[in-house]
Amino acid sequence: MADQARARRIAERTKQLVTQGLAQVVKDERVGFITITDVRVTGDLQQASVFYTVLGDDADREVAAEILEAYRGRLRSFVGKGLGIRLTPTLEFILDALPEDAQHMDDLLRQVAARDAELAAGRRASEYAGEADPYRKPRTEEDETGAPGA
């Protein structure tokens, strides 16, 4: 079993090589804007999970998945030549859901901010149900006689 530092270095280098391979090896005009976001290599350096995102709609994502699947062997060969290690890890391409999750969180935060603004506006327009200062105060001479200083 390899140490974790070596696995991280190989994962980072694999990420760079897959990105280069997309530009050099993949010769498909249908390929869109594919971004490699992360690569994770197993501890035994046998498998690499490559996470990617695609700029576009669901049809673009499906086309990108087909292209990556079709060029998996060529990309693995390209990565193997660039890594220079005895065993080249197998590549598994996984669509990264991070951008969609981030968009969903942004939408939720906008809704919360709008609701907070509504509540703040309601607070500014509201008045106390009773007196402005509902707390008891110690009695003074004015309270006893009704006139100041008498």
Delimit the domains of the chain by residue range: 4-95, 97-126
How far, in Å, are 114, 124, 139 from residue 119 at the CA level? 9, 9, 37
> What is the pLDDT, as a whole number, of residue 144?
66
pLDDT in single tens digits along all 150 residues of the chain: 558 888 899 999 999 999 888 888 888 777 768 888 899 998 888 999 999 988 878 888 888 889 899 989 999 999 999 988 888 899 999 988 776 777 888 889 999 999 998 888 888 877 777 777 777 777 777 766 765 554
Q: In CATH, what is the architecture of 4-95?
A: 2-Layer Sandwich (3.30)
pTM of the model: 0.65
pLDDT score, position 1: 55
DSSP calls for 120-135: HHHHHH---SS-SS-S
- Residue 41: per-residue pLDDT: 92
